[in-house]
Amino acid sequence: MMHFIFDVIGTIAFAVSGVMVAMDKKLDLFGVFIIAFVTAVGGGTLRDLLIGGTPVLWLQDHTYLYIITATTILAILLRSKKKYVRTSLFLFDSIGIGFYTLLGIAKGLSVGLSPVMCIALGTITACFGGVIRDILCNEIPVIFRKEIYATACIFGGLSYFLIRELPINELYADIATILLVIGIRLWAVKCKISLPNIYRSFNTTE
């Protein structure tokens, strides 16, 4: 039950981030909905396909379509002023990757994958909806920039398996993982911590 709640929260967060990007690109209503939809379900769809979970979850359960539709409408109606768009996008994107990392790991464990593969699956689940969103909106995906994004998912995944070794309730391990991924992402951006730029590392001036 808790994982379903986590899934709903992640779906809402990514749908909102999709709406933010789509509206910033001045897409029409249909375009906004499509971007919100692929952002919310893109990573989970790829995850399900990779582990043979077909039909994928959103095709089996119409709840996700209803949630994304309602979220899209509300996000459009309650959209903040333009100057807050990037802050809102960053916040909802961070929330989304936190919840989806945990859900991807849980799905991997449910089909018997190793911890390493579970972490990879969690990272894919968290990141690839945003990748599809950015590509469709003609942006370089965040995961391919120097920002701490997929790295936060990986560290969160590693921490999940370490926390599980502690004598605590599994729900606490889930929540700790979500908060850790979100926290790493927020902390890295606030402190302007990023991965090295390969181009700059090899570029020499004459």
- Domain boundaries along the sequence of the chain: 2-202
Residue pair 141/135 in contact by the 8 Å Cβ criterion: yes
At residue 154, the 3 state secondary structure works out as helix
Residue 188, pLDDT score: 82
**Whole-prediction pTM:** 0.85
Nearest to 139 by CA among 74, 86, 98: 86
The pLDDT value recorded for residue 87 is 66
31-67: per-residue pLDDT in tens?
999 999 999 999 999 999 999 988 998 999 899 999 9
Which tokens is 64 given?
A: 């996700």
Q: What is the mean pLDDT of residues 121-146?
A: 87
Nearest in space to 148 (alpha carbons), one of 182, 198, 179, 106:
182
